[in-house]
Amino acid sequence: MKTLLFLNPNIGMIVGLIIGTIVVFVILFLLLCYFVLAPRNKFFTFGRENRIMHIMTGKKFSGEVILPSKTLYIDKKDKYNIKSFENLSQNLAEDMRRELKQHNILGMYWIGIYPFRSIYERHQQWLEWKSTPGGREIQFRDEYTPYLIAKPFEYAMLLVEAEDKNGVPLNIYFTVILMPTNAVVPIFGNNDAYGQVQTLCLGEALLFTKEKTFANLGGENITPDISKDEFSKVICKLNKKIPGRFKEDPNDPNKQIEVGLEEALGYKILDAKLNSIEVAGTHKKEILAATTAKYVAKQNAEAEIEIAKGKKIAGKLGIDVEKYDMKIRNEFYQKIKDMPYAQQIELAKKMFTDSKLTTFVSGKDVTPTINIGV
C-alpha cells in the first residue's frame, strides 16, 4: 500500500510533464509556422484580405483557392466566378463566412505537405500610380506575385507617341480601373491575361486619339471638347466585345458570337479616364507652340467673323461695317485648317499684324504637359 502511494506522485508528475511538453511543442510549432513557414508559403500561408491565392499539386492547379474577404467569395459550382456576399441572404452569407473562418488558424491557411503542395506564383509587369509630394507619378512594377487582386484596382497605362487627327505625336497617360470576375480564367485560362487587357486598352486608346485633335483632348490649357465619359465608354466596350474575337454559337454552328473581356480573360473594366496628354518627339516645343497658335488663331478668327456679322446686322442703326472684310477673314479661316503649322503662323502674322487677332499666347510659359483631373 505504501508502495502504491509512493508511485502516485510520480505518475502525476509524468502526466504533467507530458502535457507540458505537448503544450510547449504546440506553441513552438505555431511560432515556427507563424514566423518562418507561413511567410514563405511553406505548409501554411497568410491569407490577405481580398487577395486570391491558388494551391498547386506539383505543377498542376489543385482546384483549391484561398480568398479571405468580408465581401467576396468564389463560387466553385459556377466556374469559379467571384461573387459578392451582398447577393446572398443574410443567413446564407453568415454560414459561408463561418465556414471560411474554420479553414484558418491565427490567420494562417493550410496548404499541404511541401514541396508536393505549394502556392502558385506568376511573373507580372504593370504600371501603377504613386503619390508623391509633387502629385502623382507612374511607378513601374515587375515582380513575381502569388496574388490575384479581387477588388477593383487602379492600373496606370501609357500610350507612347500616338498621333492625333493632325499627326501630332502625343503621349497619353490614362487610368483603367480593373477587377477580375473569375478566379481561374485570368491565371490558368490565358497566358498573361493582364498583359492582353493592357494591349487591348492601348489599342482602343490609340484609335480614340487618332479621331481627336490635341485641342479636343485639352491641349495647352484648352477646354477639351470630349465629354468626361466618352473615353471611358470607348474602353469599357471591351467588356462585351474584343475586336476580331468570336466564338461559335452553341445553338447555331454557322453563327459567330462576339466575345468580350469578361468571358475571354476573366476581367472587367469598371472605368477609364484620361489623366494627362503631352506632346512627344524631339520638336515638342515647336509643335506645342504651333498647335496653340493654330487654336487661338482659329478661335479669334471665328470671333472676328461673328463680331462683323453682328455689326453688319446692326448697320441698320447707322454703324459703318465696310471696314470688316468678311471675304479675307473667311479665306484665312479656311486656309489655316489644313496648312502646316509653321506656314499658318507666318500667314497669320502677315495678314493680321494690325488687327486684334492673336496668334500666340503671350506672357505665358509653354509647357508640354496638359493635366486633366489627375
Question: CATH code at 223?
Answer: 3.30.479.30
Question: Are both 106 and 147 inside the same structural domain?
Answer: no
Question: Are both 223 and 313 inside the same structural domain?
Answer: no
Question: Are both 64 and 85 inside the same structural domain?
Answer: yes
pLDDT given for residue 291 in this prediction: 57
* Of 119, 153, 176, the domain-final residue: 119
β-pairing verdict for 60-66 and 72-75 = unpaired
pLDDT given for residue 332 in this prediction: 58
Question: Are both 152 and 239 inside the same structural domain?
Answer: yes
Question: Are both 231 and 326 inside the same structural domain?
Answer: no
Question: Are both 132 and 264 inside the same structural domain?
Answer: yes
Ranges of residues in the chain whose predicted pLDDT is under 50: 1, 5, 7, 221, 316-325, 352-374
pLDDT tens track for 139-163? 888 889 999 999 999 999 999 888 8
pLDDT given for residue 266 in this prediction: 96
* Of 72, 90, 119, the domain-final residue: 119
Question: Are both 265 and 347 inside the same structural domain?
Answer: no
Signed CA dihedral, 99, 104, 105, 110: sign only = positive
Residue that is written with C-alpha cell 486570391 in the block: 52
* Of 119, 139, 163, the domain-final residue: 119
Question: Are both 272 and 331 inside the same structural domain?
Answer: no
Contacts of 194 (CB under 8 A, 6+ apart): 124, 126, 178, 186, 267
Stated pTM of the model: 0.69
> What domain range includes position 34?
2-119
Question: Are both 153 and 239 inside the same structural domain?
Answer: yes
- Contact call for residues 178 and 269 (beta carbons, < 8 A): yes
- Between helix 284-313 and helix 326-336 the angle, nearest 10°, is 150
Distance CA 202, CA 235 (A): 9
Question: Are both 109 and 134 inside the same structural domain?
Answer: no
Starting from the edge strand earliest in sequence, which strands make up the sheet with 267-279, in order? 135-145, 122-132, 153-163, 169-180, 267-279, 369-371
Question: Are both 271 and 307 inside the same structural domain?
Answer: no
Question: Are both 110 and 128 inside the same structural domain?
Answer: no
The total domain count for the chain is 3
Residue 371: what residue type?
Answer: N
